[in-house]
């Protein structure tokens, strides 16, 4: 069963901002992209760099040679090492979305819980490793819910 973690009041994480927090021993980056909240493991599947410290940016597409478009501005996270691009909403890489993915978590905005978050939550189901997907048939990533209730950003993992 997924554990609920209150990250911060939603007002403290406005659009375009991020926070990196430790949730029961797992470093997680929580992002506000145009009012929606997303959470990614702070761990690049390539060489395990702190992915969530990278630049939030956009990416390019091309209509025809010499005509490059800028798109998805604010929706792309670029790893601070090696510059790999990931979709913040899904954790999927831009260059190989089905095989190379960062781990993403469910995020919501919910009211603050009267009970404090359990500190002993068992997150052992999240392996402390990364898989760049080079040998896996299935994407190596499970997704997690993240919400915001009564203006608390909440991550489930």
Partner 1 sequence: MTRRRTQRSTDGAPTLIDCDIHQRWKDESEVIQYLPDQYKDRGLQAPEILYDNVAEFSRRDAIPDDGSNPGSDIPKMKDQHLDEFGVDYAILTGNSYLNLTALPNDDYAAELAVASNKWAIDRWLSEGGPFVGSLLAAPQKPKRMAEMIRNLGQHPRVVQVVMPMAAQLPYGHEYYWPMYEAAEEMGLPIALHPYTEGHGVTRPPTGAGYPRTYFEWHTLLGTYAMGQLVSLVAEGVLPSFPDLDFVVVEGGLSWVPHFLWRMDKDWKALRAQVPYLEKPPSEYVKDQVRFTTQPIEEPDDPQHLLQILEMMNASETVMFASDYPHWDTDSPLYAIPPMPEEMEAGVMAGNAQELYGLPDDPASLPAK
The strand ranges marked E within the chain are 4-9, 18-23, 26-33, 36-41, 55-64, 67-78, 85-87, 104-110, 146-148, 152-156
Instruction: Please give the structure tokens belonging to residue 145.
Output: 């819910």
Is residue 65 involved in binding partner 1 (CB under 8 A)? no
Report the residue from 9, 50, 97, 139 that binds partner 1 according to the rule CB under 8 A: 50
Of the candidates 122, 145, 141, 143, the one whose C-alpha atom is nearest the C-alpha of residue 130 is 141
Is residue 53 involved in binding partner 1 (CB under 8 A)? yes
Q: Tell me which stretch binds partner 1 (CB under 8 A): 75-83, 86-94, 113-121, 140-148.
A: 75-83
Nearer to partner 1, 3 or 46 (CB): 46
Q: Residues in the site for partner 1, rule: CB under 8 A?
A: 46-50, 53-55, 78, 80-83, 134
């Amino acid at each position: 069963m997924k554990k609920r973690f209150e990250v911060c009041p939603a007002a403290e994480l406005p659009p375009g901002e991020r926070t990196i927090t430790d949730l029961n021993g797992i470093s997680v980056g929580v992002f506000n992209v145009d009012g929606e909240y997303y959470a990614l493991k702070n761990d690049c599947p390539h060489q395990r760099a702190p992915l969530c410290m990278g630049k939030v940016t956009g990416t390019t597409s091309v209509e025809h040679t010499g005509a490059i478009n800028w798109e998805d501005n604010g929706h792309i996270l670029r790893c601070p090492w090696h510059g790999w691009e990931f979709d913040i909403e899904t954790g999927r890489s831009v260059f190989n979305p089905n095989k190379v993915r960062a781990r993403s978590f469910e995020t919501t905005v919910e009211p603050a819980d009267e009970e404090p978050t359990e500190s002993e939550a068992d997150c052992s189901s999240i392996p402390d490793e990364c898989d760049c997907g080079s040998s896996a048939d299935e994407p190596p990533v499970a997704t997690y819910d993240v919400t915001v209730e009564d203006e608390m950003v909440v991550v489930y993992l």
